[in-house]
């Protein structure tokens, strides 16, 4: 699913939405209406179909505990899509926006190749620790990251959410904006307003 500005060119920055478990490409695309109009927006369907319906990014051993080989397969498949010239021409500033399982996917992508992405919005999820994704200290040095979660989130295991926050804040080297909101496992209006401000500030990288 796409939302593109009426006036765009090869330098128009791109935001890619990565949905949560059980959703699809329709789930997040309307959030583009709350975000800066200077960007193009794409929402991608995850690669793993679920028996109960919907899709997710990885096969897993439990909530926020992906199988390493499945992470590698999905990262490679996403990059094959993104790197098509019709999707993101060479030099396009590309931002990732991941919610829940989509946060883990966005985190895996930016950790796998930090130089490829202009930044990432990581909401209400965890990072793909204990897989082949690199999480060495300084791995995201200088990469703009917006990280947020709800203080009442009871879906993502607390220990994994806290481990992810600690890595981003203390080890990753990212240029980090960190927020907490009094919500559960969801995205709030104030959160989207903060994301919109952050994207506008990082649009050109200058």
> What residues does each domain of the chain span?
2-202
Output the pLDDT for position 187: 97
Tell me phi and psi for residue 117, to 5 degrees.
Answer: -115, 140
Q: Does domain 2-202 have CATH number 3.40.50.1820?
A: yes
pLDDT tens sequence across 39-48 = 999 999 999 9
Output the pLDDT for position 206: 63
Output the pLDDT for position 43: 97
Give the whole-angstrom CA distance, residue 154 versus residue 140.
Answer: 28
Q: Would you state the structure tokens that stand for residue 130, as one six-digit string? A: 């204990």
The pTM assigned to this predicted structure is 0.95
**45 and 25 in contact (C-beta within 8 Å)?**
yes
Give the whole-angstrom CA distance, residue 15 versus residue 117.
Answer: 10
DSSP character string of 143-170: -EEEEEEETT--SS-HHHHHHHHHHHHH
pLDDT tens sequence across 107-155 = 999 999 999 999 999 999 999 998 989 999 999 999 999 999 999 999 9
Q: Name the DSSP letter for residue 50.
A: -
Sequence-ordered alpha helix ranges (H) in 43-156? 68-82, 101-112
- Per residue of the chain (206 residues), what is the pLDDT tens digit? 999 987 777 779 999 999 999 999 999 999 999 999 999 999 999 999 999 999 999 998 877 789 999 999 999 999 999 999 889 888 899 999 999 999 999 999 999 999 999 999 999 999 999 898 999 999 999 999 999 999 999 999 999 999 999 999 999 999 999 999 999 999 999 999 999 999 999 998 76
Q: Name the DSSP letter for residue 117.
A: -
CA 173 to chain centre: 17
Q: Strand runs (DSSP E) across the chain, as ranges?
A: 2-3, 14-18, 40-44, 48-49, 55-56, 94-99, 119-123, 144-150, 175-181
Output the pLDDT for position 190: 97
């Amino acid at each position: 699913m796409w939302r593109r500005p009426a006036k765009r060119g090869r330098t128009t920055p791109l935001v890619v939405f990565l949905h949560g478990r059980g959703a699809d490409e329709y789930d997040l695309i309307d959030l583009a209406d709350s975000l800066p109009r200077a960007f193009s927006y794409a929402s991608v369907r995850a690669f793993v179909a679920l028996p109960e319906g919907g899709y997710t990014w990885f096969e897993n051993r439990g909530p926020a505990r992906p199988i390493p080989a499945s992470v590698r397969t999905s990262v490679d498949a996403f990059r094959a899509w993104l790197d098509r010239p019709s999707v993101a021409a060479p030099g396009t500033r590309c931002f990732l926006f991941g919610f829940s399982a989509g946060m883990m996917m966005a985190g895996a992508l930016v950790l796998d190749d930090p130089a490829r992405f202009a930044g990432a919005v990581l909401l209400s999820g965890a990072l793909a620790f204990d897989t082949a994704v690199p999480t060495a200290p300084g791995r995201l040095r200088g990469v703009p990251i917006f990280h947020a979660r709800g203080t009442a989130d009871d879906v993502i295991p607390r220990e994994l959410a806290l481990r992810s926050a600690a890595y981003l804040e203390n080890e990753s080297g990212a240029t980090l904006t960190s927020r907490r909101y009094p919500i559960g496992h969801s995205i709030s209006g104030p959160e989207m307003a903060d994301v919109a401000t952050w994207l506008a500030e990082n649009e050109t990288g200058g």
